Each structure stands twice: as C-alpha cells, then as structure tokens.
Structure 1
C-alpha cells in the first residue's frame, strides 16, 4: 500500500528527495508583494520540516491578505470621493485634481505596494524631489487612502500621517500678482475675446477660473451704491476641467456660492457684454457660440493671448484671483476678513462657521466705498 500523505494544518511539509523537505505557506514578508504563497526548501527530516514550519507559523500565522495602495484607492477612496460629489460635499474639480495627482505622482510610486509595506523613509525619499504643492497634495491623497486601510484593519498604523520634511521649492510658473494697472491692460487686450467676460470676473470680481465660466446672463445685474454703478454676478456653479457644468450650488466649498461685484470701469464693460449677449439670444455670459459656456481650455488659451498682447510676463489664469486679493487689500485698503469672504472663503472658528454671514448688499457697499474713495484712472 502507498504511504499515507501527511499534511500540516498550517502550510505543507513535503518530501523533495535527497533528504530535503519543501515547505509551502502563505505569508506577508513585507517585501512589497503583500500576502502571497511562499516556498522554502530545507535539508532534514520530516520532524525538522515540522519544526521549521512551526517557527514560521509563529511569525506569520496572523498575516492576512493586504491590499495594495492601488487596490485601496480603487476599492475605498475613489467610491467614497464620488459619493461625496453626489452629496455636494466635494466639488468635481477637486476630485479631478486628486485623480491627476494619482496618475502623475501617487499611483506610479505606490500603486503596486502593499498598504502594510509603505515605509516612512520611502515616503520621504518620494517627497524630496517634488515641489511644494504637488508634494502636499500627493501626500494628502496617500494619507487619505491609507486611512481607509487603517479603518478596515488591514494595517495597524498610517505612516503617511507622520511628520515629513516637505519641499520648499515652488513650481516655476512665473506666478505672482499683477498690479491693478497691469490687469487693466490685460482687460483692454482681451476686448472682443469669447472669454472676455470671464477674465473680467476673475480680475475684478475674485472668481476662480471655473466659477467665471458658469455665470448665466440672468444672474448679471446692475446696482448703484455710494454714487457709483457696479455690476454684480451670482456665482452658483462652475464649468469643470472636462467642460461639464456642475449642478447649482456645487462649487469648491459651500462658502463659494456668493455674489461678486465688479466696479467701474470694468463693470461697465461687463454689462455691455451681457446686454450684447442677451440681444444675441445667448444663455451664458461667456458663450462658446453653440449654446454652452466657454471651456477652461479655451479660457486659458484666450488668457495667454491677452497677456501676450498686453506685453506682460506670462502667468497662469489663477494669478488673476491672486491679484484681486492683493490689490483689494493693499491698494484699496479693504479689511482682510472682508476680502476673504468676498473670495468665498470662510472665516476660521465659531465666528466663521455660525455668526459672520455678510449679505450681497454688504459686498456691494464694501466695493463701492473702496472705489468711490480711490477711483481707478487710466494713464
């Protein structure tokens, strides 16, 4: 009769011939491969094999299948982010930014690494060659992904939550701020552009790029305050990077839904554009000619052309909003807390969360007072 095959209750211990034993078992050796099957050959008897298998069992009996960072991202982080978009807690543009960071920075480095094998020294080495903003955003995405792994008890610690030495270098986009006079030159150079109205809202109304494109004509109005006429626009939606239009009320954050105020002379030009668009039967303040708002890519191209015609250093479109914040505080003397709220930022603490809720009329009066005291005069 053939000899009965003996099997272990944990792993296997088989005769490999020549006085050798082949041991097979499942374990996570923290070598980047996760929980996989392993094989080990030893010289010795069955008893020697059983003893070695017992020793290995003490080390690895509690190992469990551990997903990779890429699997955790796809299984947990991404569905949760999409659910937050549906509930209005996350803007699609924010998700687009995270997905871009995953494709460029996080995924290539960490996608195939088991969550249990992410090491602090490896994270630091990964961050070192980056510039400041991509490093901060990419680390945040890795940290959030590993938070899910911690919640589902596949890791015991989220090493991405430790303190790291962050890069100090900024990406060289020649970004900074334009002066009010330089913004006026860009406005003149943008006359007749399909994205002119959006650029005016960015430079003189504090709008983000996507916000400036999502304004309908019926949301633009004229109002008088402190002896001057201003143009207002309701910011309630945005055009996303993929040219889709967000639902009403879905912006970067809930404070971003607001009324923006454009002073003269740029408010006068904005009102002219709105009237001409109404006469043409358009729906959007920045209409692409086909009944849809201008896309972000088109706006960026039009912005670059206007800056070049104005003879100014090239900066990204988001520098318009940065410039608005700068001249409103330093040239026009508007209090920082008011500037923050006109930009759609919430004040910190309980005051910002529950008490300080300025109205559109307050925004109008703030801008009117500033520009009635210091009217802009073209050179």
Structure 2
C-alpha cells in the first residue's frame, strides 16, 4: 500500500472511533494525503471532544505544531490553548474565543529562562503568581506585580511575607489593617482599625522594642509596654471587682492583716539592670504573710491594695478605740479637777473657822 492508502485506512478507523461521540473530521490534502491545518479537529462533540483513559504512554502528544499544540473551545465560550512556541503560554484559560486579547484570560505557563519560577499563573492585569521549585530544593509560592516585585510569598519553610498591608473585612467598612511602615522608626508592625486607633509593635535596630497603642490625638501613647517590661498607661488602670464575678467570699480579720503587715519587711531596692529605685516588700515575704496571689514571685496590685485597705481599717479601729479611751480619761481628769477644786474650797472654809 502507498502512503495515501495507509492514511485513508487510518482516517476511516479514526472516524469510526469519533462517531461514538459525535460528528468529527480530519482534514487531509486530497492529492498528497498529508494532514493539513489542524492535525485532529473535532467539532460539535456531544460529550467529550477527546477522552484518553489509562494511556500506557503519552495520552496526547503534539510535536512542532505551527499554531497551538492543543486548542479546545467549549460551548460556553471557555477555551484553553497549548503552547505554540518559546515565550508563549503553555495553557490559557479564557471566557471568549478571541484568545489572549479577550481581556478576561488566565495564563498558566513555565519559563525555563526564569530561575525563580517553575510555574507561572498570570491574569490580564499582569499580577503574577509563581510556584517555584528550584534545583537547590527551595520551593516558594510568589505573587508578583508586573515589575517582578514580590507582593506575597509563602516559603518552603512556611514563612509568609506580605509587601504591603493585610486588610480584614474591608467591604463592611469595619475593617482591620495589619501593615508595616519601613519609614516609621517608631513601629515595625501596625494594627489599625477604621477609627484610626493604631497598635504598634516596634523592634528597632537600636535594640529597643516596644508595644504601643498611640493616642490618635497625639501626645503620649495610651498604653505602652517597653522592652524592659515597664508598662505605661495614660489613663486609669481598672481591675475587675464586680461582686457577681467573685466567689468564696470571706470576711477578713483586719487586725491580723495589720499585724502581719507590721511584721512584713519593707525595703528600698531596684530591679537588676535598672537605675530606678523603689520601695516595697519582697514577693516571698508578702506571699508568706498573706497567702494571696499565684506564687511567691509576684505581687498583684489588687492584693497590695487590699492589704493596705484592711490594715487601714484595723488601724482606724485602733485609733477609734484609743479616742474613746482618751475621752474617758479626759472625763475622769475633769472629774478629778472638779473634786480638787471642791477639796480646795473645803480647806479654805476649815481655815477660816479656826
């Protein structure tokens, strides 16, 4: 058989296969028997245009096609194309039949000339996502702008890098923003809300790290925790003291509290590495004397306040008792003075009768 005969036999066999799925054709030069234009062209397929199942080798292999290796267009206007040459997209996902110029296409490709990317996903606005697995074993996911600037990155180790800001719930108008400003030495991480209150977490190159809630009206911050552990509050510090939140409520023997406080040593001291001087008890002594708090390493301000209030009440009771005793003594002194005057008067009368 000559080439044309073999070709026609192949065409007949292929058309028999395609007839099960719908109408199809293979375009062949009627003189030379050479397949021209589209190597395989299937139109108006009622089911799958091409179906490959459990292929032992390549399911579909196209080599050196002058146009697209694979071009498929669905009824709803969606299509994809295989690459037609170097620098072209390997796969295009679009919504019309007009190719990349449709303005609504998505491109999936790979460019061996770009060392930092093995898989590129592009949209018509030039924002690019890259999934990278280099020969050095480092894999990353990138989102780049059209200038190849990394906007978002997930490293192989799981680290996430965001170039600008993260906005939470922007549609409702009640959004929260996480961002960083390299030009602001006072904050490395910003947490912003739509009412302009900002939380700053700062770790400067000079080694000073701070947690800061600035005052939107300027001036001193509303709240700050320094790297040294100092806490600054530009306002009132309130501890919850609602009776409804408390249990196991017991009366306090204020006299015993006062006695324990009198026996608790009070020192003047400073924290290690600090120059500021303070006056107060040691946590170990305080815990031993009053048995309050979580441990013997810290003293809660609310416990110190409670001890002071109980001691004041006990001291007030002592003062009141002493005042009553003094009043009683003063009354007795007055009575004695009155008796002394009466005795003196009697003495004078006795002397006059002599």
**TM-score band (shorter)?**
under 0.3
- Higher fraction of helix: 1
- Higher fraction of strand: 2
Between 1 and 2, higher relative CO (CA 8 Å, sep ≥ 6) is seen in 1
- Tell me the TM-score normalized by structure 1: 0.21
- Tell me the TM-score normalized by structure 2: 0.22
